[in-house]
Amino acid sequence: MTFVRPGRILRLMPRPIRATISTTALAHNLAIARQHAGAAKIWAVVKANAYGHGLLRAAQALREADGFALLDFVDALRVRNAGIDKPILMLEGFFMPEDIALLSRYRLTPVIHNMAQIEMLEKTAIEGTLEVYLKINSGMNRLGFTVDNVRLASIALGANKGVGSVTLMTHFADADGAEGIQGQLQWFGVLTRSFEGPRSLANSAALLRFPEETRADWVRPGIMLYGCSPFTFKSAAEIGLRPAMTLSSEIIGVQHLEQGERVGYGLAYQAAQEMTIGVIACGYADGYPRHAPSGTPVLVAGQRTRTVGRVSMDMLCVDISDIEQAYVGTPATLWGEGLPCDEVAQAAGTVSYELLCALAPRVPVVEI
């Protein structure tokens, strides 16, 4: 006979903040990338925990991609261990000789961008052959070979029996800006004139703005898959993208201020007239940018308002004077559905990339 002792089931509820990740939005955005990519294959860029959306969740939602591009070996192994056998592009290649065994064992495609990597490859016995990307510095001056060493690098890879196919790659510095791609595209053409092999050039901005010139054989969209625009002159909605992450919370406190009263740390905001403010359970420890100034847009009960005062660790304040129904428990959207992350980022002097990537681990994620 068993005695079941009746116990009280304690259901611990998290505080109201959550990030809702839409897997259908991710799949939809990939389809938009596919429209622009034409016959080119797509590396879905899932670095930085898939721009904050969760690596495996995103890889699953983006399973129609032709491969996944990321940086960390730990992440590459997580993708493999989840049973995903699509190609994986290691955007920074590898870092030490011990990594090379992992490349073979897990069929990872490294980006080779410096001579030290080429030397490590030469000194290490490689199991089978590795497909590699050869990164050309066509003007961004971050990673890659340029006029003084690209020939040497190409010859060395060609002579290495452990190296199979070589794809030529470059990255644009200003595909979203005034410079565009022409200068880099031309220099890339000159630097790679005598080399055979497939090519991969385009990030989201290049793919959307210059698809004909840059799609080549493989494209590498990142930010657009998450429903944000790489441009300041064209919104995500205008491109047909849907926000994949919505950061939402609730009002947990209300204060009525008289004219001249001030709000928050540093007493940085002063009420110009009588006003009501709502305190939202979301702060910089959740990933909301602390440097977002007063006036940054927020939705409360679906209505647009603005932040007042400094963002603190766990809370921020908004003006709810004109939102009559707003009270404790009223929902608020910090970015996402109804309030583009790009707009919040712009108000905070940054880009949506940074906001998405900075989503803190303490924020509960709901997948829809």
Ligand X SMILES: *Cc1c(COP(=O)(O)O)cnc(C)c1O
- Give contact residues for ligand X (rule: CB under 6 A): 45, 47, 91, 171, 203-205, 220-223, 230
- Cβ 206 to ligand X shortest distance, Å: 8
- Look up 288 and say whether it is catalytic: no
- Rounded (5°) CA angle 352-354-355: 65
| SS3 labels along 51-113 | HCCCHHHHHHHCCCCCEEEECCHHHHHHHHHCCCCCCEEECCCCCCCCHHHHHHHCCEEEEEC
Task: State how far the Cα of 339 lies from the Cα of 72, in Å rounded to an integer.
Answer: 32
Among the options 41, 47, 123, 234, which is catalytic?
47
What is the crossing angle of helices 115-123 and 150-159, to 10°?
Answer: 20
**Side-chain half-sphere of 41: how many Cα atoms within 13 Å?**
16
350: enclosing H helix or E strand: none
- Look up 265 and say whether it is catalytic: yes
Dihedral of CA 56/62/66/68: which sign? negative
| Residues contacting 308, CB < 8 A, separation 6+ | 263, 264, 269, 277, 294, 317, 318, 319
> Structure tokens of 57?
């969740």
Task: State how far the Cα of 354 lies from the Cα of 279, in Å rounded to an integer.
Answer: 24
Task: State how far the Cα of 201 lies from the Cα of 317, in Å rounded to an integer.
Answer: 43
- Cβ 90 to ligand X shortest distance, Å: 11
- Cβ 257 to ligand X shortest distance, Å: 41
Residue nearest to ligand X (CB): 222
Q: Which is nearer to ligand X, 205 or 355 (CB)?
A: 205
Q: Which is nearer to ligand X, 200 or 249 (CB)?
A: 200
Q: Which is nearer to ligand X, 127 or 179 (CB)?
A: 179
Q: Which is nearer to ligand X, 229 or 246 (CB)?
A: 229
- Cβ 360 to ligand X shortest distance, Å: 21
- Cβ 111 to ligand X shortest distance, Å: 7
**Nearest CA-CA partner of 236 in 337, 124, 310, 106:** 337
- Cβ 2 to ligand X shortest distance, Å: 57
- The SS3 assignment for 352 reads helix
Q: Which is nearer to ligand X, 18 or 47 (CB)?
A: 47
Q: What is the DSSP string of 195-206?
A: --S-EE---HHH
Q: Which is nearer to ligand X, 70 or 277 (CB)?
A: 70
Which residues are marked as active site? 47, 265
